[in-house]
Structure 1
């Protein structure tokens, strides 16, 4: 079999419509018209375009305003990806087979890496989604008023809403397929493992945001300048530390739920509830204070995030609309094509949170971008 093509992965690949043994090479290109269905290239290019534009915006922000936070966030998210994903794709190679096994398989897209394991859009979705969530919270001034930790909790909450719109739809449209009997995936929340709903949708962006704001963002807000070398090592540390956070934050569910899927599910849900009950009042209170003029306004305005968040919501809404006929015709949670369906009511709630957050960013004071304070004549020590 090709490049660690385990029997489980091979079976998932067949169900997704491609051959594991024929998925070739470090990089592979395909005709978009030959993919499993038309939604795959639409999703792919919406995400890839957004990530590229986010990177361009981050570079321009650094050059024009001297603020490297967006750039560190973008590359920190990418560094996190390359720490977390390879052991999941190749558990036998990384010695994680006994614990992780084969958790899922992505379908093949226009551009794929690592023998069909890693679509380009997955590389892109980490920095794009992190940028949307972080910047929406930052534009509302949450970090400046409530500090690093509570701001990070709000980022995790907002990211969760945007991500679950995508996560709840993917299995039905064959963007990926989960291994149903893998213990790491249990318990399931309809078509999606509850660990994915909590850890990858809320806790990892919370961990990333905390690290970015702690190592860079709060210092930039205070007027500190960084040299290129300082930014490089901080970005590497952010990627590594955020990865550790993904193992630490779910520990209550990981340890407390040993031996019981039900207990593990309850503990995962409790962590998500905790994030939610903290984030909603803070975001609402800050938005209200900004509207009344009783809180310090945001340090800058990010129109790219405002408008691309709308693009994301509209495109995902159209993709969901295309899936609804098969969704409503499904029997026992499975469509006529044999694909599992996500939770529509939960998704509607996530759409509502995403739309409300974006709307809030349009309805608060929007100061024009202003240059950061003049850099100190001597670079701050590393």
Structure 2
């Protein structure tokens, strides 16, 4: 769609090896063997498969245990995607091109949407990564013991650890290209904009988790039932509020850092430090408490997340190992092919965080059956818009 080929996007597309003018239509399917390099279909398959399995698990959990939380996380993250991403792809179409230029371009993958702007795996990575982070924190019982806000902060921290492993590798392997001249991407943290490191890796999942647990999760934990329409409108609201939260949380950097890149970078980093300072002691303390089995409350377990988090980390480790020769041969931050490299030390720290979180959910007691204390319990929806009585505390009227 040539009329949507803004100059910056056209330049980024050429750097990635494809033509903006020839980039498909609403949907385009390519031969995976003909992509830029072999890592693209491997990444795509891993993320899309994980998202599909996460959705299946969420549906099964709803049907068997009456727990819609996983489903709300999945669709809430997807709603967030479709609110946030399209304006970034087509700023002119949304009337914001005077303020927002193209910030990045994805490479073309096996399945793409919106004239080469939106690969299928990007649609999938939002619900998959949100599910992994949210459920790790939930399995450690942080929401149950410390409440909605602290639990959400821990989700942001865990998501950051898992996501930055991917974020610092993508530019080198040509999964996407950042517009380094765009002031909204400043300051850069090697090959990754610091705003991405903070906002998209930590603050958006924190915002999403807060509203998921506030609007749905905590009520489900108490045995409350929701009808199908109630879950639909709650999920839509979560997507909207999660998007607003992502705009509100980085306000110190976006407001006070205007025209001052060093200050902007300091304020972004400060927010990430605060998230880290809150999350680390809480996660450690709660893991130790569960290891001592201090609580008689059944411990929630998500078998899919336990297994697929290992799969994700193994695939990312493989991709990083194969990228290391070019990484170490790089000169002035670029490989011999001219691709920017990420920060290996920061990636290793994130790998450490992610691995420890995954080990933690394997080393705490877990329930043998339905963790929700709903058997023989009758709850009534107090809102009056689908308030059937349920002995399971699950979805009613769906």
Q: Normalization by structure 1: what TM-score?
A: 0.98
Matched, 1:354 2:359: no
Partner of 2:112: helix, strand, or coil? strand
Q: Which residue of 2 aligns with 1:183?
A: 183
Q: 1:10 to 1:365 in 2, by over 3 A?
A: same
| Cross-structure match for 2:233 | 233
Moved segments of 4+, more than 6 Å? none
Closer/same/farther in 2, CA of residues 62 and 191 from structure 1, 3 Å limit:
same
Q: Distance in 1 between matches of 2:251 and 2:214?
A: 22
Give the conservation status (yes or no) of the 8 Å contact 2:298–2:371.
Answer: no
Aligned to 1:131: 131
Deviation at 1:369, TM superposition (A): 2.9
How many Å separate the matches in 2 of 1:70 and 1:192? 30
Between the aligned partners of 2:173 and 2:202, the Cα distance in structure 1 is 23
Paired residue secondary structure (1:105): strand
What residue number does 2:250 align with?
250
Q: Which residue of 2 aligns with 1:217?
A: 217
CA separation in 2, counterparts of 1:379 and 1:145?
24
Flag structure 1 segments of 5+ consecutive residues without an equivalent. none
CA RMSD in angstroms, aligned pairs only: 1.2
Preserved contact between residue 290 and residue 296 of structure 1 (Cα < 8 Å): no
Q: CA deviation at 1:376?
A: 4.0
Matches of 1:371 and 1:287 in 2, distance apart?
Answer: 18
**Residue deviations 1:44-95 (CA, integer Å, cap 9, x gap):** 0100000000000000000000000000110000000000000000001111
Task: Report the Cα offset of residue 291 of structure 1.
Answer: 0.7
CA shift digits 1:109-152 (9 cap, x unpaired): 00000000000000000000000000000000000000000000
- Please state whether the residue corresponding to 1:177 is helix, strand or coil: strand
Q: CA deviation at 1:378?
A: 4.5
**Inter-partner Cα distance in structure 2 for 1:124 and 1:206:** 18
For structure 2, the 5+ residue unaligned runs are 386-398
Q: 1:46 to 1:225 in 2, by over 3 A?
A: same
Corresponding pairs, count: 382
Query: For residues 379 and 280 of structure 2, what CA distance do their matches in structure 1 show?
Result: 41
Structure 1 residues 71 and 213, CA, compared in 2 at 3 Å: closer, same or farther? Answer: same
Q: 1:194-241 CA distances to partner (integer Å, 9 max, x unpaired)?
A: 000000000000000000000000000111010111101100000000
C-alpha distance in structure 2 between counterparts of 1:59 and 1:359, whole Å: 26
Cα deviation 1:284-307 (Å, max 9, x = unaligned): 000011111224555421111001
